Amino acid sequence: MKRMMMAVVMGLGLAGAAHAADPVEGIWKTKPDDNGNFGHIEIKPCGEAFCGTLIRAFDSSGAEVESPNVGKRIVWDMMAAGDGAYEDGKVWSPDRDKTYNSKMELNGNGLSVKGCVLGICRDGGTWTRVN
């Protein structure tokens, strides 16, 4: 009986470790866009990749505002590449209505976002962790 209980406990422990959250998961505050607006992006797994959805929008004064972009996917197909790097993904920039081939790099509570479209690259700046 003790062995069976120990096996169940160990099995549950290993299952929990297998489902541990990736460090990029969570809510991130974007760098202000060309208009000074910013948002909160929730990043979570979507299949084998990571995706991010705009969950809140703010104006340049920091006041929460209604936006037709809330609920829209901002990041998708971002694959973990190890050592805090994520690549082969896409990032949509609502202020320019452009989708960039992107990569991200996690460094503590900062997430550096960069992307290119048709050879024109844009530094999305460093997003900061909200939670």
Q: Are 94 and 105 in contact (CB under 8 A)?
A: no
Residue-level length of the chain: 131
Residue 19 confidence (pLDDT): 54
Q: Are 56 and 70 in contact (CB under 8 A)?
A: yes
Instruction: Find all residues with CB under 8 Å of 36, minimum gap 6, and list them.
Output: 59, 60
Residue 96 confidence (pLDDT): 87
Both structure tokens of 32: 């202000």
Q: Where are the domains of the chain?
A: 22-129
Q: pLDDT digit string (tens) for 24-77?
A: 999 999 999 888 999 999 999 999 999 999 999 999 999 999 999 999 999 999
CATH of domain 22-129: 2.40.128.520
Q: Are 103 and 115 in contact (CB under 8 A)?
A: yes
Residue 8 confidence (pLDDT): 41
Q: pLDDT digit string (tens) for 103-124?
A: 999 999 999 999 999 888 989 8
Residue 4 confidence (pLDDT): 41
Residue 11 confidence (pLDDT): 45
Q: pLDDT digit string (tens) for 3-24?
A: 544 444 444 443 444 457 899 9
